[in-house]
């Protein structure tokens, strides 16, 4: 994930359009995996917080 962060920072400050399709797909996949892990953790540890979003 650090690679994605460095790439994002370079793109933000240097120029747009430096992200390849593969890098974009990896970023989206990583975000989806992180979301899944966070929701699973919340379900186990704080399910009441998930009820707030309904």
Cβ atoms of 42 and 49 closer than 8 Å:
yes
The full set of domain ranges for the chain reads 2-51
Q: State yes or no: pLDDT of 54 exceeds 80.
A: no
Q: What is the mean pLDDT of residues 26-37?
A: 96
Mean confidence (pLDDT) of the chain: 84
Confidence of residue 48 (pLDDT cuts 50, 70, 90): very high
**pLDDT in the model for residue 37:** 97
pTM confidence score: 0.65
Give tens-digit pLDDT for 10-31.
666 666 677 889 989 999 999 9
């Amino acid at each position: 994930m650090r690679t994605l962060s460095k790439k994002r920072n370079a793109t933000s400050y240097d120029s747009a359009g430096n992200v390849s399709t593969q890098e974009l797909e990896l970023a989206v996949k990583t975000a989806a995996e992180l979301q899944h892990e966070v929701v699973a953790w919340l379900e186990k540890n704080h399910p009441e917080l998930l009820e707030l979003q309904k």
